Amino acid sequence: MSFERRQTRQLMVGNVPVGGGAPVTVQSMTTTKTHDVDATLAQVYALAGAGADIVRITCNTVEAAQGLAEMMPRTPVPIVADIHYQYKLALAAIEAGVSALRLNPGNIRKEEHIKAVAKEALNAGIPIRIGVNAGSLDKDLLAKYGGPVPEALVESAMIEAKYLDDVDFHDIKISVKHSNVPLMIESYRLLADTTEYPLHLGVTEAGPPPSGLIKSVAGISTLLSEGIGDTIRFSLTADPVEEAKAGKQLLEFLGLRERSGLDLIACPSCGRAEVDVISVAQEANDRLEELELPIQVAVMGCVVNGPGEAREADLGLAAGKGRGHLFIKGEVVRVVDEADMVDALVDEALLLSEQGIEARLAARDVSAADLAEETRIELLTSQGDANDAAGRRAAVKAKAE
């Protein structure tokens, strides 16, 4: 299943298409001083490695613009220069060779300045994001609406878009970020009804994880599920690598991007668990994540329900009676000592990605399934069937007869 996407115009940020049916992209922003070229480039590489398709870098001084000029030939992903207050730094960033600009209409307010930047961007063939922010909204609009309401954010964006349209500049994307999730959602819905320009989604100043992650996921997912949004950014008070990773994972979990890494699922654990599921899942996650295998792995706390409930997973581990039961697509393929089970899971993950599911099922230890079934029945007998599925089915059938 995939969401029907809203039709938007398409533009190019360097070699990355945004809008017009292009895959939703992930953005993040560096936190280094831009004039420190090596540190900033190292962070750009880290962000690209974590899943960022486009990286934004502040261009807040002349030295920053000079740093951008040095970085451009060496960056692995397109760079957007973030501009506030000083329109001349936008001109300097264009000269530096950036792939796009972000302008904040709340603090670059003079029409002639905005048009001067747009003309240069047009000559350079690069797009502009109109980045409206509830916290830095144009003060006239704040006064008009009495606060940063969705109508005010959208009006700010559309005034800026009109200035750009006036000079024949149409490579525009727009964001209307708010730190309040329902207002953020409303602002983007209103914007989507108002314009065909592609939209950059984000909850601004979302804060540190986990609340920052939850706010971002709530706002961005709601809109993506309505087909709204062409590029996204998590604004977390955290290492920006976390932002890029979260953005990439969100798109993967929503089915909007092919999985490139691990998807670890784990049961929440309960009184039936035979191991400390939280620490086993954490260890498995840490070790498997490093391998960057595009597989789904399940860690389940017991053999009574584990393999069945996680039968869709490519590979899984269920614990029981001091042993680890490895299963592939719900079929037990090996039983190992509890102390070795995470090692065995990692080994099997590597073999599975090299050889494929069919080959690994064919290579299974044939006695493992019997041993696993014995253990399952033993535990079921000693612990009882909490769900009492057979009893419930019989009772339903008896009523119908």
The residues binding ligand SF4 (CB under 6 A) are 267-270, 272-273, 300-302, 304-306, 309
Considering the complex, state which of residue 240 and residue 301 has its C-beta at the smaller distance from ligand SF4: 301
**Please, what is the minimum distance in Å from the beta carbon of residue 377 to ligand SF4?**
15
Residue 317 · residue 299 · CB < 8 Å: yes
* DSSP conformation class of 168: T
Q: How far is the CB of 315 from ligand SF4 (least distance, A)?
A: 16
Question: How many helices (H) does the chain have, and how many strands (E)?
Answer: 15, 15
Residue 42 or 270: which CB sits closer to ligand SF4? 270
Q: Is 202 in contact with 233 (CB distance < 8 Å)?
A: yes
Cβ of residue 382: shortest distance to ligand SF4, in angstroms?
14
The structure tokens 């001084």 sit at 61
If you ran DSSP here, which 8-state letter would residue 258 be given? -
Give the CA dihedral 286, 245, 64, 110, nearest 10 degrees: -160
**47 versus 273: smaller Cβ distance to ligand SF4:** 273
d(CA 139, CA 147): 9
| Least distance between ligand SF4 and beta carbon 113 (Å) | 60
User: How many CA atoms within 13 Å lie on the side-chain side of 141?
Assistant: 24
Q: Which is nearest to 242 in space by CA: 233, 254, 252?
A: 233
User: Closest distance between ligand SF4 and the C-beta of residue 374, in Å?
Assistant: 17
- Please, are residues 307 and 316 in contact by the beta-carbon 8 Å criterion? yes
- Token pair 């831009």 in the structure block, residue: 34
Q: Give the integer Cα–Cα distance in Å for 377 and 383.
A: 10
- Could you tell me the strand order of the sheet in which 315-320 lies? 263-266, 296-300, 315-320, 323-328, 331-337
Q: Among residues 32 and 305, whose Cβ is nearest to ligand SF4?
A: 305
Nearer to ligand SF4, 61 or 269 (CB): 269
Of the pair 73, 271, the CB lying nearest ligand SF4 is at 271
The residue among 26 and 300 lying less far from ligand SF4, judged by its C-beta, is 300
Bond prior to 268 in cis (omega within 30° of 0): no
Rounded to the nearest whole angstrom, what is the least distance from the CB of residue 319 to ligand SF4 in the complex? 8
Q: Which is nearer to ligand SF4, 270 or 362 (CB)?
A: 270
Smallest gap from residue 288 Cβ to ligand SF4 (A): 19
CB of 316 to ligand SF4, least distance (A): 10
Q: Which residue intervals of 75-138 are DSSP H helices?
A: 87-96, 111-124
